[in-house]
Structure 1
C-alpha cells in the first residue's frame, strides 16, 4: 500500500519589535519600481500593514540566535515602516507581524525574495473595474478612489465605464474571448443591446479592431464637432430633450456624439428658418436656407454691387489702437524662442477684432433689394454663412433682361418650371441627393456599368481638381486657351464682331453633396477672392490695373480666369437630342480633358478625393463594390466582404480603400500608349516647347508685355 505524502508545516508567525529587524542583503529587489516608498507609507497609515514581513533569525559566530532578524522578503514594506518611524508616526519598537523561517532553512533567502515577487498575480482588469464600481456603489466618490489608488479621476471614470459594458460581453472578456482593446471600444456606448449586436457582427467580419467597433456603435450618431451641432449649440440640444453626448473616455473624441439626429435636424431647421426671417426682414424678396448650399447655386444669378459701409471715426480710432498693440506685441516677441500662450491668444484676439472692423458690411439700394434675395447656410465652424444680393433672371426689370444661361441646379425660390414661386420667401434650397438606396441587388452578380448620375458626380469632382491644378500652371493654361483661339480662327465661319472671346463658367447638372467644401473648391474660391481684392471696383479701371501687373502676375491671372472654363464632367446624355449636348461632344470633351490632366500632372488623391460610402459606394451595386476592392487590394480582400449586406459591405470597402490610390474609372487619367511615350510625348513636355516668355521658370520682364497684352485683348 502506497505511503501517504507527509503533510507540510507552515512557518510560524509572530510580532517582532521593529527595532530588532534589519533589511537583508539577500533581498533581490535592487531597482526602484512601482509605487514609491512614501506613497506606500501613506497607504500603511490609512489601512495598516496588509501583508506580513518574511524574516529569518540572525546567528552569531557560534550559530546561536542573537535576537535580531533580517528581512529578505518585504523590503519595500520595511522601508515604508522605517520612514514612518522617522516621521514619528510609528514607534521604533512597534510590533510588526512577521513570518519567521529558520536561519538554516533549505530554501535560500534570495529564493524567498525572488519567489514573493514572481508568484504575485496582479488583479485581472475586469476585477479592477468591478472593484471600483463596488466602492462607488457603497458611497465612495471618484476623487477619493483616485487618491487612494494613486491615479487620476479620469482613470477611475474609465474603469467605471468599462464596468458598465454589457455583462454578456464582460463574461466573454473574462474568458479571454475578447481583447481589452475591444472591450474598451464597446464602452463608447451604454446600449447593451446594440453592443451585443455589434459583437455578433464581428463574428462575420474580418475586421475586429477597436476602431471598427467604435464606428459601428456611433454610425447613427452625430459628432459634437459637426457644424450643425456647433450651429445650435449642445446646450440647446439637451434643453430640447436630447441626452448628454455619448463620450469615448479612452481616446480623443472631439466632444463625443449626439444620439438623436432627428431632433438635431429639427433644431437646425428651426434656427435656420429664424435666421432666414431676420435676413428677410432687411427687405430682400426671398431668402433660401439650407445646411449646405448646392454647388453653383448662384450661377445664372446677377450679383448686386453693394456699397461698402464707411468706417466711423470711432471705429477708425479703435482700429488704430488695435493695430498698434498688435505691432508692439509682434515686435517684442519676434526673436523670442518661446512665446507664451497668453501672447498667442492675445494676438489671435487682436486679429479677430481687427478683422471685424476691416470687413465692412455692404448696403444695398432698397429697390434692388425688393427684387433680389439671399442665401443662408452654415459654415464648417458652425457660424452663419450669408450671401446677399442675388437677382434671378425672372426678377430682372423687363428693360434689363438679357439672355442668361440658367443653371441646371434648381434656383432658390422657383417652382419646378423655373418661374417665381409665390411662396419663395420661405423656400429652402435642397441639396442634391447623394445616390441610390440601400438595396442589396440580390437579383444578379453582373458588374454593371457605373450609373450615369454617379459618373457625372465623380467627374464634377475631377473637374474642380483639374481646374485647381490648371490654375497653378499658367503656361499650360495659356497654351490651352491659345488652342481654343486657333480653333475659332481657322475652323469656323467668320463672325459679325471683330473679336469674340469669352469664358463661360462651368456649372454642374449633377454634383455630389459637400462639393463646395472640397479642397479644390476652397482653393479656387480663395484664389478668386485674392484676385478680386486686387482688382478695382469699377470695370472701367480694369485695363489700367492689368497694365500695372508684371508678366508673371498677368500669366497667373490669365490661368485662373481660364481655369473656370475647364469642363471635364461626363454629363448624362439625354435620350433625345436637346440641342445642347450629345454623346459625341462629351466624348471629345473628356478626351481633351485627359490631355490637360496629363499636362498639369492631375493628382486626385493628393487633392483629397477618397472613395466613401455616401460619395461612391452607396450608388453602386454589390458586384461593383467587390470588383473595385479586388482591383484595388486583391481578390483575398474582396472575398472577405462578399458575404456582407450592402450597407456593411460599403463601410468595409471604404475602410479597405482608405489608404489606397484607387480611383473609379471615370476619374482616372488614361496613360499614353507606349509608342507615343517613346516619342517623348510625356506629360509636361508640351510646356517646355512654349516660348521663353511663357515658360514658368523664365523671368518675365514687367516692361515687355506687348505679346501678352495682345493675347489678353
Structure 2
C-alpha cells in the first residue's frame, strides 16, 4: 500500500537500502529541479517522523544542495512530494533498483550490511528482499570483507569469484596480507591456496582414513566456504591433528593384526606397487562363514556396489569384507603357520585401507638362479617406491622449470612433434599431447617439490578462464590472447603434458627418460638444488645402498652400524651436500 504526500525536506534522510548511496555529481539534476521543480516523488518508508529515502538518493542530494544555496523552487519550500511504502515492500523493490541501475555488486553488499547494522535479522532481510537465508549469509559475508578488498573489487581489480575466496577468513589483516601476497595476480584458486595453508581437505587420504566424526570428536575445527557446494566447501583447520589421529588409528590396526597371531605387520607406502615381490601367499583350510557373518558380507558387498554410498560407509564396508575374506582364506592356518607369516597394510591415495593377510618370504634361490637374482637387484637399492619417488622428482622439477621458461617449452613442443613425425611408429617419449592437471594432494608429502602448488594454481586459474562450450569458442579465445599470456598457456600445457614417471625400477621407459634429460638441460634444471633426500626417503634404501652412499660422501667404516644409524648419518651428510641417489645421479651425469 503506497500513498503520495508532502513531507518537509529536513525530515528526509537517505535509507541504508538505497542502492546508489547518492554517489556522483548532481549539478545537472540541480539545474533540472531549479527550472522544472521535482518531476518524480522520492520513494520513502517512515521511521517515526523521519522519511527514509530508499529510491531517489541523488534527487535528495540535489534538493538539499539547492536548499543550502537558497535556490529551492518555491513550490518545494513547504515540503517535497514523497511516495510512502511499507518498509518490507520498499526493501523488495530495492532489488529491482539493483537490476535496473546495473550497479556494481559491492553496492548491493553494502546495502545489505546497512540493514543488518540497523538491527534487521538475516531472516527478515531475506524475507524483505525475496531471497533465501543462504543468499543473505553469502552477501553479508562479502559485505564484511576488509574495506580495501571491497574497494579493489568495486574498482575491477579482480573477479567476484576472487572476492568470494577472501571470505574464507573474517580476519581483515589476513585478507590484506593475502591481497599483497598475490602481487597483482588475484585469482580465486591462488587466494584459497594462501588462506588454506596448514589445513587439510576432507578429500585427502589421511582425512578420509580418519573420518569426519573422529576428527570432530577430537576437537578438530572446520572452515566452511559459503560459496562452494558439497565436500569441497569444507576444510579441516588442524592438519597436525589429522596426522596424529591417522597415526593412532594405523597403530591400532597394526596392534589388532598382531593380536590375531601374525608374526609381522608391514605398513606400505601409498604408491608401493612392488610390495609382493619375494613373497608368497600362505593358504590354510577354507573356513565357511556363519549365517550372521554371511549376511554382513553380503551387505558390505552391496554398499561397495552402490554409487551413492558415502566415504564412511565405503570404508566400513571395505574393512568388513577384508576381515571376513581373511577369515575364509587364512582362518584354517595353525598358530605356528600364522606366526611365520605376516600382513601387508596399505593406505592408498583415496584413503582406503587395504589389508593383505597371510604372506611369507619365498625360499631363497640357490646356485646360478641366486646369482642372476642378485645381479638384477644390484642397481636398485631404493626399491620400487624409491624409484617412483626419484622419477617423479625429476619430472616435477622439469615441469616447474618449463612453466617459468616459455621459450624452452616451445622448443620442447616443436622438437617432440618433429621427433614423432620423423618416425613411422610412436616413439614413447616423455611428452604427451594432453594437459589434464595433477592434484598435489594425491602426491605423498615427501615426494612434493616446493613449487608444485604454484603451477597447479596457475592451471586452476586458466581452467576458470578457458571456454568449454565448443572448440571454436576456445580457439577464438586463445587467438585473442596477448602474446605473453599465450606463452604462459603454452608453457603450462607442455609442462602438464610431461610424464617420465616410472612405477617400477624393472619397468623402465628408456626413451622417455632420455628425452627428459634433454629437457632438463634445456631448462637448466638443478635437481640437487630442487630436492634433498630426507630420512623418510633414505630409510627405503638397502644397507648396501646406504653404505655405498656414505662412502661416496667420504664416510668409511659404518658397515656394522644399525640401518637406522646409517640413515641418520647419511641424512645429515646429504642435507648439506649435492649428493643424489641412483637414477637421479645417473640422469645428472648424462
- TM-score, normalization by structure 1: 0.39
Tell which structure's C-alpha radius of gyration is larger.
1
**Which structure is higher in helix share?**
2
